[in-house]
Amino acid sequence: MASGMGEPYMLPRDTQESQRLDAQHEYFRQLSYGHLIHPSIPARQLHAVADVATGTGLWLRQLADELTLPRPVEGEKPSFVGFDISQQQFPLADSLHTQMKFVVHDMVDTFPAEYHERFDLVNVRLVTYAVKASDLDRVVRNITQLLKPGGYLQWQETDAGDCWGHPETPTVTAWANYVMAEKVDRGLLPGIAAPLVKSILSLPASIPEGYQNPVSWSKEMMRLIHLETVSTLDHPSPAVEADKKMVVMTVAIFLLTSRINRKSGELDRESSTSGKGEKLKEEIQSMNETLEAIQRGGDMNSSWNFDVTWIVARKAIPVDINKGWMTIKKPPA
């Protein structure tokens, strides 16, 4: 998928990017204390799982290997479904779990009706560089529509603004400022975590008269079950510190290169002697200097840290007011 002003996504889709995504996934798993799903989600009760913006589908494939599910009967719908706007990074069909399927779909659009209220868990990770600010509420609505009543939503995000130097360095600061500026130019949110939590908690539920919602005792569609900030700084896993430089360098180079390429295109269309052309040349030169500093390594990579916001929410369950609700409120693990 090409990245431009009409396309908010800031990263490429090719073999090299697939390899980076898989390495990033393994790193995020270490950062998440080895968990694919948060411990607050009852894994034994998961019978159908969706992964939105699945990319290479590695998270979904590893979860399918870990969960013990009965073999599907003929005609049964797949238990694991990965959705992505592009099929370029999907795994080969002959390598898939027997209960797995990958579907091309843009999360900005309503999902096909056959997937509505199908899943016990929907996973989303790192769409901050793909979802426009104007689309966030619609995306959250569409994703929660996939959940069964009582189903769980797991969402992890990190942004350029969640990164910092320890101690602060000019390279880290310059990189973060350039990437956040590029996000705003593309219509993306400079920071997605807080607006995302607000959007999740703002969804109204339709609880019929005579029913109640023991998940939250409210008219909200989703209840926040867990909200955590996980940091690379002082993380207990040695692998998080050991592999941090690799993760930081690759994504930093891709994101900054995205802005350099777009600004260079603007310069090609602008007279280099005009006031705007001069400013573009200065910015491109400064960005290239920052990029070279990243590629050299040095202070940026030894001092870089970042936070990840880890969200778990649960969908409302309409229950007859005359029926028991305690096992719904807190299901057994």
Q: What is the mean pLDDT of residues 182-206?
A: 93
The pTM for the full model equals 0.89
- Among 14-18, 169-173, 216-220, 278-282, which is the least confidently predicted range? 216-220
Residue 300: the pLDDT is 56
- Among 53-57, 159-163, 260-264, 283-287, which is the least confidently predicted range? 159-163
Question: Which phi and psi angles does 53 have, rounded to 5°?
Answer: 60, 50
Residue 270: the pLDDT is 82
Average pLDDT over all residues of the chain:
88
More confident residue, 25 or 15: 25
How many CA atoms, within 13 angstroms, populate the side-chain half-sphere of residue 210? 2
SS3 181: helix
Give the pLDDT confidence of 99-118 residue by residue, as tens digits: 899 999 999 999 999 999 99
pLDDT band at 246 (very low <50, low <70, confident <90, very high): confident
Share of the chain above pLDDT 70, in %: 89
* b/e 170-193 (16+ beta carbons within 10 angstroms → b): ebbebbbebbbebbeebebbbbbb
User: How many other CB atoms are found less than 10 A from the CB of residue 196?
Assistant: 23
Evaluate if residue 301 carries a pLDDT over 60.
Answer: no
The answer to whether the Cα torsion of 6, 200, 189, 304 is positive or negative is: negative
> Element (H or E) spanning 51, and its range?
strand 49-52
The answer to whether the Cα torsion of 85, 264, 170, 190 is positive or negative is: negative
Look at residues 119, 147, 126 and name the one whose alpha carbon lies nearest to residue 63.
Answer: 119
Residue 2: the pLDDT is 36
Look at residues 115, 317, 312 and name the one whose alpha carbon lies nearest to residue 220.
Answer: 317
> Element (H or E) spanning 182, and its range?
helix 170-185
Q: What is the mean pLDDT of residues 297-314?
A: 82
